[in-house]
Amino acid sequence: MTLTIREAIPGDEALVLQFIGELAAYEKLAHEVVASEGDLRRTLFADNPKIFALIVETKGEPCGFALYFFNYSTFLGRHGLYLEDLYVTPEARGAGAGKALLARLARIAKDNDCGRLEWWVLDWNAPAIAFYESLGAEAMSEWTVNRLTGPALANLAAKDRAHGDTG
């Protein structure tokens, strides 16, 4: 299978959203997807984008994507590359598309002097975990993810407004 990888371009919003939906369904999280094509257009293709996407194709047909952004490690004193989503269609799995996307992301990380490439994986996703381990990835089991969303995020943000702008 011949694979090509390209950067997402304006007009790919529906495709990226489709892949996000398929990934979310696989992860049993489809109910959490509220993103729209407009959201993707606004964020992926802004004048100074903060997120980026790659599309992998076989025979000119899209078969997966990776969405990533740069973060920062104070311990390393260097940027890192964070992989938000990696998805390959079921019919293209096992043909090297996921490995090709990760290899491209590793190259982007190295080209941008990043100290690491990291991502989350659901603890029940044994096929993905085995795949990542086969590439040399290490699970960071001593870390716990924390998240604020919805009312909790709004409530904490309101506490800042209550104390005024510290400028």
Q: How many Å apart are CA 21 and CA 33, to the nearest integer?
A: 7
Q: Which residues are catalytic?
A: 132
Q: Which residues lie below 8 Å from residue 137, measured CB to CB, with a gap of 6+?
A: none
Within 10 angstroms of residue 6's Cβ, the number of other Cβ atoms is: 13
Rounded Cα gap, residues 20 and 26, in angstroms: 10
Q: For CA atoms 131, 142, 73, 19, give the dihedral sign.
A: positive
Sheet holding 3-7, edge to edge: 3-7, 52-58, 61-73, 78-88, 117-119
